[in-house]
Structure 1
Amino acid sequence: MLDWNKINTVLLDMDGTLLDLNFDNHFWLEFIPERYALQNQLTIEEATDVLLPLFKSMEGKLEWYCLDYWSEILKLDIAGLKAEISGLISVFPHVTDFLSALQQSDKQVLLVTNAHRDSLSLKMEKTCLQPFFDGIICSHYFGFAKEHQAFWQAFQQQQGWDRRSTLMVDDSLAVLRSAQTFGIKYLISIKQPDSKKQPRSISEFPAINDFRELMLVA
């Protein structure tokens, strides 16, 4: 799938790519409606009817990923609630093997995430993946989500990597499209970001079932 000799920089997404998206889906679609219903004396169905349009309206925007934003809007301690169920955070199989192989190579390896800093810190604490990365890039530092060209422009200017020798692995097709528009040459998606849901059929980009398919690093 890849000629690793032509790749110098590896950009890896976190949620749905290295980590099972089931944690986030459960948190936003089940746990938060339960807590919101309890706080506002609603049924879970009523709470869901209120929340889903709110969530939908923020998709692709930085606010969607911002725990401070949702804490203010929903009047809930979102970071605290994430910590409450953090035992559900899990790394996908073969991810650490892949990262270990990359660590032994001459590639620059960067975690590039839309996750809010509190969520990022919690997940790094729970997974112990941080030492595998040469750097961790949070889109909140730049003020734009990865779906937007302004993010890639600011990120590339700061880091100076060559888009022609860069690989991006991400579960979000919207993010991959944005990276493609920016000129990143090697793009790979994830077929099953949430282990509790069926694998997706993806034709727009090469897609993997797990990271064993990329274990070709010298």
Structure 2
Amino acid sequence: MNANLNWSQIDTVLLDMDGTLLDLHFDWHFWMEVIPQAYASKNKVSLESTKALIHEKIHSQTGTLNWYCLDYWTEALDLPVAQLKRELKHQIQVHPEVMEFLAALKANNKTVVMVTNAHRDSLVIKLEMTEIGDYFDELISAHDFGMPKEDITIWSKIQDVIAYDPQRTLLIDDNLRALQTAKEYGIAYPLCATYVSPKLDKIDPKDFASFEFYSEIMPNES
């Protein structure tokens, strides 16, 4: 389903970060290439076996907060994960049209809230390397609550930080499970961002409304 938003019915916009606002290739390259190379070098094992090992470890944490937690992976892999990520920060890129979209949201007096599963350390690095942070009324990491967006409870927990009316709220995310829990909670406009990177496959939105480029959903200035 293509997105067909009635912006007059939306007061609050909840936005994911990685893949939704930022090119997901940075994280894909980091976890699939950089971390295995660092682990193989440190432990003097083959890169091929290391990739298989790390893929298995990551897969085992899918859907949990550990999947996103730099502290967890630092301990599990005995690697300085946050430091390694910071060394690659120059590769962080914002998607096309994102800055224009964020500016349009503010011009239309929408409340704009980031809700990311990313660890705070990762969030800080990405805010340092982009200008997206200036457009948000609140920046929320799922780690603040000890649960990922895949847990329906998080949407009520967010109300303690910044109150919002689910029936007048838009969530944009590339995580289908997060979109599903938000829908179950009562968020009226769950919207899938299908374009996560020019170097990666598009997300299959399943039954969710979706868009590829922000020009498709750009609100007109009020």
Q: TM-score w.r.t. structure 1 length?
A: 0.97
Q: Is the 8 A contact 1:143 1:151 kept in 2?
A: no
Report the equivalent of 1:163: 166
Name the aligned partner's letter for residue 35 of structure 1: A
Partner of 1:189, secondary structure, is: strand
1:124-153 CA-partner distances (Å, limit 9, x unpaired): 000121110011011111111111012112
Name the aligned partner's letter for residue 32 of structure 2: L
Report the equivalent of 2:179: 176
Q: Is the 8 A contact 1:171 1:190 kept in 2?
A: yes
Report the equivalent of 2:28: 25
Report the equivalent of 1:3: 6
Report the equivalent of 1:40: 43
Report the equivalent of 1:117: 120
Between the aligned partners of 1:49 and 1:148, the Cα distance in structure 2 is 28
Report the equivalent of 1:66: 69
Alignment partner of 2:138 out of 130, 135, 139: 135
Alignment partner of 2:150 out of 143, 147, 152: 147
Report the equivalent of 1:193: 196
Structure 2 stretches of 5 or more lacking a match? none
Q: Percent identity?
A: 42
Per-residue deviation, 1:157: 3.7
Structure 1 stretches of 5 or more lacking a match? none
Partner of 1:70, secondary structure, is: helix
Report the equivalent of 1:108: 111
Q: Is the 8 A contact 2:176 2:205 kept in 1?
A: no
Between the aligned partners of 1:162 and 1:116, the Cα distance in structure 2 is 26
Between the aligned partners of 2:100 and 2:94, the Cα distance in structure 1 is 11
Question: Which aligned segments of 4 or more residues in structure 1 are displaced greater than 3 angstroms?
Answer: none
Q: TM-score w.r.t. structure 2 length?
A: 0.95
Between the aligned partners of 2:34 and 2:211, the Cα distance in structure 1 is 29
Partner of 2:45, secondary structure, is: coil
Alignment partner of 1:85 out of 66, 85, 88: 88
Partner of 1:160, secondary structure, is: coil
Partner of 1:203, secondary structure, is: coil
